[in-house]
Structure 1
């Protein structure tokens, strides 16, 4: 999908039509949701309210307000130096994944707890399960290789009643495991999502951070603190995102009948050719690439399925079956 150019300063028209963050931030509303944000709001060169997006604490305070105001998440926090994600872009991924599921369901987007989603690399912020459940009512399993991230995600779930019973997190004990060690033999997921570690080394991650600082127009130097945070597992792995996604494709073929759609964000367009080649080798039936845009940043996700049209139609039948109501015994 080709992103539209922004033609109205009050609306981010390149974001998904259902994205709640298309309008410019209303800081008065957001401060009413979380007073902490007030400490970071200032007037920019256009005499408009803003925050310093190069300040990790400011971004965290903004996220707290957004999650409370738009998603009814009253308690959200992450450990120091953990990845603090830009919520509008994360919401876009979820909304386009909803469209993807709808493409297998005659254009109707499935909602409710019949839809099971696996988030590979849920992170300490638990952001995709929060948005996906609060927007569509889906159930989530989130996996992560970092025990501290799992503990943080659990705290968020336990502290917010809307997420309880709808989001589960699991520790990945294998460095080579993605689906292996997480997906049970009889489990079925309607879709998997992933924001893979995109750098191949700590040095590369730090170089990327310096570029972000330049893009944000700041002269500050930060040696070891990464913009928007992020620990090793969140930001880099051997071979970077290409190696990670190619391993994901190999393992997805091993559970091809247990998931309708597999997806992953792809930060670097140069990696697409290799990823497509891996999908051909894995004998994926259908592959689609969805382009997304947030401001100057262009991103995309690749989605693949091993199910043909008939199998997809058969899979989606379970979405329409009503859950039997429990019998009420007479006194």
Structure 2
């Protein structure tokens, strides 16, 4: 399966290198009290503190992307901007130069992060789905409060938690790319273990127990069967929307799941499958991308 390995952040990522904390504090003074000096004498923040992490990401959105209002409950996932915008950049590379892209974000979440970044960087149009009405309401408030986002996002509520595309994609929709950061834990216990690993990676300390400090509602983090089953279901459903979408894609946290996805994509007739590796800080993730259109059909799509 074709793979493209990316050792660092995407070249277009505005968040490369050390954070410019002085500039970030200038747009968000509340961040200042969470800045500390590490053992190397470099100013940083405590990445195990969810308040500090949220303020950092809020500051990044303001400084680099002009987002003035970004407010959502602390119980919802707070997305790391560098990794999220990398996903957008690599999908933009895949799509090539195009002034009229429509992207479907599966599970937009209360933070509305992918539409924010896709509109800010490439002026994409978004369809944004979620299974939680409160998350959609919060995301709508973010969009309506930032003039650059107005009229760029079409929110659609997914009434059936067991469906991904069905009930969201309309018969006449033409979507250039679907994106998704799937729930990757199969249970609360798995989520707690993942949180412990994250703390250990950030601090070097091994903890016996940790609370789920990395905010995230159950529906955002946990799915029966975990990431493997969610993406498997997505692949199966995508067959029914082969003519509505040029590309389907999903983040993949666990590399061991890839072979299962490749087998399923072959079984269900995907004609083009790619894997893109991304690296952010000390985390490696992948994007699996597939299309049911061959090369000629893809070129015809782009001409429409």
Q: What's the TM-score once normalised by structure 1's chain length? A: 0.88
* Partner residue of 2:213 out of 226, 248, 257: 226
What are structure 2's unaligned runs of at least 5 residues? Answer: none
> SS of the counterpart of 2:41?
coil
TM-superposed deviation, 1:271: 0.5
- Match for residue 37 of structure 2? 43
Q: Is the 8 A contact 2:273 2:288 kept in 1?
A: yes
> SS of the counterpart of 1:293?
strand
Q: Is the 8 A contact 1:285 1:305 kept in 2?
A: yes
Cα distance in structure 2, aligned partners of 1:73 and 1:279: 38
Map of 1:74-113 to 2, 5 A cutoff? Answer: 74-102=68-96, 109-110=97-98, 112=99
Higher relative contact order (CA 8 A, sep 6+): 2
Cα distance in structure 2, aligned partners of 1:23 and 1:296: 13
- Match for residue 105 of structure 1? none
TM-superposed deviation, 1:295: 2.0
TM-superposed deviation, 1:222: 6.5
Cα distance in structure 1, aligned partners of 2:39 and 2:211: 29
TM-superposed deviation, 1:39: 2.0
Cα distance in structure 1, aligned partners of 2:141 and 2:208: 32
Cα distance in structure 2, aligned partners of 1:54 and 1:223: 11
- Match for residue 154 of structure 1? 140
Cα distance in structure 1, aligned partners of 2:178 and 2:57: 24
> SS of the counterpart of 1:123?
coil
TM-superposed deviation, 1:31: 0.8
Q: Is 1:3–2:18 an aligned residue pair?
A: no
Cα distance in structure 2, aligned partners of 1:140 and 1:250: 23
TM-superposed deviation, 1:223: 4.7
- Match for residue 301 of structure 1? 287
CA RMSD of aligned residues (A): 1.3
- Match for residue 12 of structure 2? 18
* Partner residue of 2:241 out of 238, 251, 255: 255
TM-superposed deviation, 1:202: 1.0
Q: Comparing 127-136 with 39-48, which one deviates more in the overlay?
A: 39-48
Alignment: residue pair count:
300
Deviations, residues 28-77 of structure 1 (Å, cap 9, x unaligned): 11111111111211222222211100000001100111000000100002
Q: Is the 8 A contact 1:81 1:225 kept in 2?
A: no
> SS of the counterpart of 1:45?
coil
Map of 1:106-185 to 2, 5 A cutoff? Answer: 109-110=97-98, 112=99, 114-185=100-171
Map of 1:178-217 to 2, 5 A cutoff? Answer: 178-217=164-203
Q: What's the TM-score once normalised by structure 2's chain length? A: 0.95
- Structure number with greater Rg is 1
Q: Is 1:69–2:63 an aligned residue pair?
A: yes
What are structure 1's unaligned runs of at least 5 residues? Answer: 5-13, 103-108, 319-331
Q: Is the 8 A contact 1:117 1:192 kept in 2?
A: yes
